[in-house]
Structure 1
Amino acid sequence: MINVSDQPAPRSLIVTLYGAYGRFAPGPVPVAELIRLLAAVGVDAPSVRSSVSRLKRRGLLVPARTAQGAAGYELSADARQLLEDGDRRIYATAPPEEEGWVLAVFSVPESERQKRHVLRSRLAGLGFGTAAPGVWIAPARFHEETRHTLERLGLDRYVDFFRGEHLGFAATADAVARWWDLPRIAEEHEAFLDRHEEVLRGWEGRADTPPEEAYRDYLLALDSWRHLPYTDPGLPAALLPEGWPGARSAAVFHGLHTRLRDAGAAFAGL
């Protein structure tokens, strides 16, 4: 039973569906199939249609006909790049212990200050912390994805990237606690665990894996999880507070992924 108050946004679920299954389809996903697959997680047909229209306007979905002539949608090139970049975070098993940092240093003219706001928002959405005004920091592995994002938005000319290590004066763990809002990130991990840890335990106690149930629980877990690796930059354990819940929530997601993804694909049929 899906609790309506906990229901994810239909647009987010459609992106998650394409990320999990739709992008591997041999052609466009028919609208009728999108409606069927979203109904399984509690989204009605009008919400699917309006959400697809918004994703089309944003340039993420492209209308196309299937081989049988049915109306459908496929991912744009930009959307495929977004999903491929996201794979490296969403399905990563553990961050490297030592990798250094990437710094994004930007300067936007006052006449274009709206772009300054967009730039800050995008860097925050990519998991960067704030080291100083106009200086944002993230683990070095974020460089390529950030470059793709800024180029796509036409913001690359305002930014310089640097790679390096933190040399003090404060201990790196203390600096990290200034650069990121760690209590808020921990709360998001706990919220994921509240929603999905019991789901995993339930599946661990079962021998069967019915495709529709597997699909529903996997899609909802993936939709919750895929945002977390962008909120949480995946810092080494030595830099995080004791009892950090990130490893536990990652283990729950990967457990659900391993158990449910392929069985869910049988219900998706894409």
Structure 2
Amino acid sequence: MLEIRQGGTAGQVKPIQPRALIVTIYGLYAREVGGALSVSALIRLMATAGVDEPAVRSSISRLKRRGVLVAQKVRGAAGYALSDRGRAILLEGDRRIFERHRAGTGDGWLVAVFSVPEAEREKRHQLRSRLSWLGFGTVAAGVWIAPVHLEQEARDALAGGGLADYVDLFRAGYVAFRPEPERVARWWDLDGLERMYDEFVAEYRPTSARWRRKRRDDDEAAFADYVQVLTHWRRLPYLDPGLPIELLPGNWRGSQAADLFFALHERLGPPAHRHVETLTRPGGTA
């Protein structure tokens, strides 16, 4: 099974989990059909991706317990739909995953300063996790920083998570005393991020080459590759919040990885979509 970095900090490698593939499938396809998929269709789709039925059912149960999926009949058959929380999570991810945002050096910074009473210290962990997920870097204890274009996303995420009362947000410019590239390298783990980008390119460059050689589409194979690619990719745009290219190391690997992802997205997306339509339409095979 493909190993990818799923969550946590740069440097932690974990195998891709079936539930992560399920979230990818729901994000890509279920919202087009009202947010729900039958269990039988999902089992067939996951089998294409190399996951057996017991693992699918176990993963569905976990996603249900986490409030991401809710039971719902699909044309009279057992199925699951996205919960309101699940829809919100996927909607939040669309902008990061499928759009390229790169700050300019003159745009300025968004600074988050938080203070949490000791009696509510669990909120401290929630804040750190949320800011990290949004792509903020760490300046000091209780002081985090991000490109200013993340302002509205940060506002929405912190307010939606019930954390706004603990945070103040500022727009700022860096004026002294060390060069900004030096500071950026301390605020974010750029070396770790570049290693992750290198792994993505090493894993999927052969996939891209293989599909460039194909003269005709294989919809099922395209689906299997596409959900793997997207599941691997989708965390990276959060760890890399679109920092100005001038402040990043030379020959930034993220640019190469992004070019590869969007090329695969364009090549594999349409045939993968056809495969899902074949399995999920009324009278289909699942």
TM-score scaled to structure 1, two decimals?
Answer: 0.93
* CA drift at 1:58: 1.2
* CA drift at 1:5: 6.0
Per the alignment, do residues 255 and 163 of structure 1 end up closer, same or farther by CA in structure 2, a change over 3 Å counting? same
Deviations for 1:68-97, whole angstroms, at most 9, x for unmatched residues? 211111111222222122111111134243
Contact 2:97–2:237 (CA<8 Å) still a contact in 1? yes
Q: Secondary structure at the match of 1:169?
A: coil
Contact 2:180–2:247 (CA<8 Å) still a contact in 1? yes
Is 1:77 aligned with 2:84?
Answer: yes
- The residue that corresponds to 1:144 in the other structure is 152
Q: Secondary structure at the match of 1:69?
A: coil
Per the alignment, do residues 4 and 138 of structure 1 end up closer, same or farther by CA in structure 2, a change over 3 Å counting? closer
Deviations for 1:86-121, whole angstroms, at most 9, x for unmatched residues? 111111134243432211111100111122122112
Per the alignment, do residues 102 and 4 of structure 1 end up closer, same or farther by CA in structure 2, a change over 3 Å counting? closer
* CA drift at 1:154: 1.8
- The residue that corresponds to 1:60 in the other structure is 68
Structure 1 residue identity aligned to 2:136 = F
Contact 2:21–2:231 (CA<8 Å) still a contact in 1? yes
Structure 2 residue identity aligned to 1:225 = W
Choose which of 50, 53, 58 in structure 2 pairs with 1:50: 58
User: Any residues of structure 2 matched to 1:96-245 within 5 Å, and which?
Assistant: 96-98=103-105, 99-245=107-253
Choose which of 246, 252, 261 in structure 1 pairs with 2:254: 246
- The residue that corresponds to 1:262 in the other structure is 270
* CA drift at 1:27: 5.3
Deviations for 1:12-53, whole angstroms, at most 9, x for unmatched residues? 111111111121124521011111111111111111111111
Measure the CA separation in 2 of the matches of 1:24 and 1:166: 44
Per the alignment, do residues 26 and 114 of structure 1 end up closer, same or farther by CA in structure 2, a change over 3 Å counting? closer
* CA drift at 1:148: 2.7
Q: Secondary structure at the match of 2:216?
A: coil
Measure the CA separation in 2 of the matches of 1:76 and 1:145: 21
> How many pairs were matched up?
267
Structure 1 residue identity aligned to 2:63 = L
Q: Secondary structure at the match of 2:72?
A: strand
Contact 2:103–2:147 (CA<8 Å) still a contact in 1? no
* CA drift at 1:213: 0.8
Measure the CA separation in 2 of the matches of 1:165 and 1:265: 44
Measure the CA separation in 1 of the matches of 2:170 and 2:35: 41
* CA drift at 1:4: 6.1
* CA drift at 1:149: 2.5
**Structure 1 unaligned blocks of 5 or more:** none
Identity %: 47
TM-score scaled to structure 2, two decimals?
Answer: 0.88
Q: Secondary structure at the match of 2:191?
A: helix
Structure 1 residue identity aligned to 2:27 = G
Structure 2 residue identity aligned to 1:71 = A
Measure the CA separation in 1 of the matches of 2:144 and 2:171: 12
